Amino acid sequence: MERRKSIATEIITILKHATAILMETKDCVKLKDINYSCKQIKVIIPDTLSDDIAEKAKVFFDTHGIELSEIQNGKRPFKIQFAYDSLDPNHVVIIDIPFTLNTIRQCCSLLLKKSNIGLGNSQQLVEQRELLNFKSTLENLVAQNDYCKKVVSIQFESEYTK
């Protein structure tokens, strides 16, 4: 549980940084030398874990046409994934899949003293519970920050829509 909170705290720090940039720029981001309206950050939690969340995220981003770029602000570039809003091409949505979720599978394996190859039912159930707990923890942390709760939404991969 403490590890889950620690991971969520790392992610909320990144979200606060991203939302601070949006607040400074009045919900406008400059991507590829073009200004876009941006009023939403979506944190996507995978429906299931994998051994490499970064690889899972790449497949998700490719499947949904989500591009990688940098927010060009006065201080330093900030790497993000973004999708063009399907209703308004002048509006983008920042998308994030927390790569730090890799540690959940490792923690579950240690907890269950896994000795078999593949995922057993117990491991799958524990991972699902931990993903639900992680989402809930992150939602609680977002709710404690006024600007984050205005622009950040957290959803499972299967709930994602552009």
Tens digits of residue pLDDT in 72-118 = 655 655 677 778 777 777 888 888 888 888 777 766 666 666 555 66
In this prediction, residue 22 carries a pLDDT of: 81
Using the structure block, give the residue that is written with the tokens 């299967």: 158
- Read off the pTM: 0.82
Pick the closest to residue 132 from 104, 102, 112, 96 (CA basis). Answer: 104
**Can you list the residues of the chain whose pLDDT is less than 70?**
1-5, 72-78, 106-120
